[in-house]
Chains A and B, each alone.
Chain A
Amino acid sequence: MIIATNVNKRFGKLQALDNVSLNCNKGQTIALIGPNGSGKTTFIKCLLGMVIPDSGFITVNNKNISHDWHYRKQIGYMPQMSRFPENMTIEQVIDMVKDIRSDANESMDEELPEAFGLKALYGKRMRTLSGGTRQKVSACLAFLFNPDILILDEPTAGLDPVSSEILKEKIISEKSKGKLTLITSHVLSDLDDLVTEVVYMQDGKLRFHSPLTKLQKETGEEKLNKVIARIMQNQ
């Protein structure tokens, strides 16, 4: 579904993305991991057209995404730091995005607001919300339109254990519907039951991309954090 070919991006002196090529298919759940500043978020922003690559191209469903916007209908995005118009209420923000995004009477996925108990907070203004609640609003917006591709940048950061479990359940249920999910996280234990593939990035380069089962076999470890630790030691 997503094919990135030789994507390069430079911010001043920093080579944020160095010839990144990646192939993602339907039904996969991909963990995008790497140290801080390795280019994970930049890559995700390139996928969304928020950052424009210097060279290389990205296709989503066989369509080049440069200066296109239709493809974003198929993407649900949850940013790392969600920023919202501060003096709107939760309900107004959700209604606004619905109003702007939906063409016809698409079926909305309102499961998450229910599960998070957000409806009780609908009248609150965004500036009064805690970091975790903002994160919940952001998650709800990502799942709202039943997108085929989910891009989640540190989804569990700031969420309490209960909400974090709810979100994980949701991701697993979406995965069973054959959606493509891209997740970045530093809490590898959160990713354990979710991911099928691992992409490791460092210094803007894509180090490896392989199925989790293969990595488990190679390293002889079961848990994702041990697998990654073993690989990093061997390098």
Chain B
Amino acid sequence: MKKIIKYILLDILRNKIIIAYTLLLMVISMSLFLLEDNASKAMLGLLNITIIIVPLVSIIFCTIYMYNASEFIELLIAQPIRRTKLLTGVYLGLVASLFIATLIGIGIPVFIYSPDTSGFTLLFTAIALSTVFASLALLSAVMTRDKAKGIGLALLLWFYFSFIYDGLVLMILFQFADYPMEKTMLALSMLNPIDLGRILLLLQLDISAMMGFTGALFRDFFGSSQGIIFAAGNIILWMILPALLAINKFKNKDL
């Protein structure tokens, strides 16, 4: 499996998209830090980049790469390798490349301008979201044979987690405005990795006071070590579960 990761990683680094993505992240975060004199204002801008651009690029890039790697997969499937190992290798190769890109593109500017807890939380969130969306990309690429459908599904997933989900939560909130919703809100935020990342970051930036009573509740929950562990466990589940489902599906797929 290490060998497969190595070949995938080499192949990805040879194609220029990942380098362009690294540079894009670098330019955005550098310019944000340089334009704002207050580092935490720049962090807020970076938060939006992390929440929107990072998931979008990772899910689209990984889905397209999976379809382009179909030749690689077909060549190796007839060789003595376990199918699950092959796909796990491809997944980990993708995750590793995104990890490197985020570490350089966001990590270096954060390390220079804001090397504190909120900075590292931001970096951690960006890496976690890249992995989660790579995992979702793997699932959508394995599920659909048609490239256009697969990319469409990937876009839809991103759109759902970025916008539609929040709309749904707002709708529920308004419909049940007369009831105490705090616990439900906590539970609902766990069902969306992007929301989870956003809440963790906003709490770090100390602007949760603006979020009212729910913010206080989040502060209470995510501020405790128990809450942090719970959130981290939840995001790790988001990284692993879709990938596991994809690998399981791939085991019985006809090629």
Contacts and interface: CB of A to CB of B under 8 A. Distances in A.
B226 interface: no
Given A69-B80, A72-B78, A79-B78, A85 B71 contact: yes
6 contacts: A51-B254, A79-B74, A85-B71, A88-B11, A93-B75, A97-B75
A50 B79 contact: no
B78 A85 contact: no
- Most chain A CB within 10 A, of B77, B251, B254, is at B254
Interface residues of B, number: 24
Interface in A79-98: 79, 83-88, 93, 96-97
B225 interface: no
- Most chain B CB within 10 A, of A50, A77, A97, is at A50
Contacts of B82: 69
A217 interface: no
Given A67-B251, A73-B80, A85-B75, 11 more contacts: A11-B254, A50-B78, A51-B255, A87-B14, A88-B11, A93-B75, A99-B3, A100-B4, A100-B7, A100-B81, A101-B80
Interface string A62-81: 00000101111101010100
A186 interface: no
Contacts of B75: 83-85, 93, 97
A85 B255 contact: no
A70 B79 CA distance: 9
A159 interface: no
Contacts of A48: 77-78
Per CB-CB distance, the 10 closest pairs between chain A and chain B, nearest first, are A72-B80, A83-B71, A73-B80, A51-B254, A77-B78, A85-B72, A50-B255, A69-B82, A48-B78, A101-B79
A22 interface: no
B interface: dominant SS:
helix
Given A83-B75, A85-B71, A96-B7, A70 B254 contact: no
Nearest to A69: B82
Interface of A: 11, 45, 48-52, 67, 69-73, 75, 77, 79, 83-88, 93, 96-97, 99-101
B18 to A, nearest CB: 14
Given A45-B255, A69-B82, A50 B71 contact: no
A151 B4 CA distance: 25
A195 B252 CA distance: 34
Given A51-B254, A83-B74, A69 B81 contact: yes
Nearest to B75: A84
Contact of B83 (A69, A83, A86): A69
Nearest to B251: A67
Contacts of B252: 52
B188 interface: no
